[in-house]
Amino acid sequence: MLGARGTVQVYTGDGKGKTTAALGLALRAWGHGARVLVIQFMKGRINYGELEAARRLEGFDVEQYGRESFVDRDEPAAEDVALAAEALARARQVAGANEYDLVILDEVNVAADYGLIKTEDILDLIAKKPPEMELVLTGRRPPAGFVEAADLVSEVQETKHHYRIGIPARKGIEY
């Protein structure tokens, strides 16, 4: 649908906007008739604005596999590991069935960094994805293997952030 050959993209860095950039790409693809799936690792039970928007767009799906609370990097809860495994299983199922033209694995880089999933499992998914499927991996600190396997890597760098002057996360802007 999107092109003769799908690529692998990684959006990373310490700046704000990795998920937002991926969602912008998703909206562009959807606008051209692509079937889009966003699998959110480590995000759940929060009504992000993108979830409400996706409900209104046929063929643009967002699925959350996470708890409302933050994951403890040093000692992730068993539930966090189990939810990440569910997200990975869903990604494998989608790739195997070739159901979507664009698949975004949101925060998968962080899930790998935290040890919730194995780097090798994502590299295997990349190797086995349908050739026409576009695959986007987002999040800070991607494993080196993700960067090596990618066709495009974009880094979002923080130069200045409003949190530092006391402006909190805002509905409709940060979530």
pTM over 0.75: yes
**Ordered structural domains, the chain, with CATH:** 8-165 (3.40.50.300)
SS (H, E, C) 38-74: EEEECCCCCCCHHHHHHHCCCCEEEEEECCCCCCCCC
Q: What is the pLDDT of residues 39-95, one digit of tens each?
A: 999 988 777 888 888 889 999 999 999 998 889 999 999 999 999 999 999 999 999
Q: Which of 106, 122, 102 is nearest to 11 (CA)?
A: 106
* Neighbour-count burial for 45-73, b at 16+ CB within 10 Å, e otherwise: eeebebbeebeeeeebbbbbbbbeeebee
**Helices 78-97 and 119-128 sit at what angle, rounded to 10 degrees?**
10
How far apart, in Å, do the first and last CA atoms of the chain sit? 30
Q: What is the pLDDT of residues 5-22, one digit of tens each?
A: 899 999 999 999 999 999
Q: Two tokens at 11?
A: 């959006």
- State what percent of residues in the chain have pLDDT above 70: 98
The DSSP string of 148-170 is HH-SEEEE---S--GGGGT----
Task: Give residue 2's pLDDT.
Answer: 66
Q: Cα–Cα distance between 147 and 137 in angstroms, integer?
A: 10
Q: What is the pLDDT of residues 110-148, one digit of tens each?
A: 999 999 999 999 999 999 999 999 999 999 999 999 999
